[in-house]
Amino acid sequence: MKKIYVIAHTWRDVDLTIEHFFTATKAVKRLSELISGEFGVKANPNDDPNEYLSRYYEWVSEVNDNMCDVNVVLEVISI
């Protein structure tokens, strides 16, 4: 079964951008590019994109008091 990773993101709630990737490696790399500057943790190429994004939002809610510059949503579509 093939998967498409769809990433939708905004910067300070402006300019919605939607991107798609056909591998988890490329998706997690893009997620890392988007959030590692704020998060302080770069993704490992073998990380699961959903898990990496979950760690980011856990950090946002616990450490950063729900304030972040980048809002990201990841959807995985199986075809």
Q: Which residues pair with 11 in a beta bridge?
A: 14, 70
The token duo for 14 is 């402006």
Burial of 73 (0-12, 13-18, 19+ CB in 10 A): exposed
Q: How confident is the model at residue 70, as a pLDDT?
A: 86
pLDDT in tens, the chain (79 residues): 899 999 999 988 788 999 999 999 999 999 999 999 988 999 999 999 999 999 998 988 887 666 788 889 999 999 9
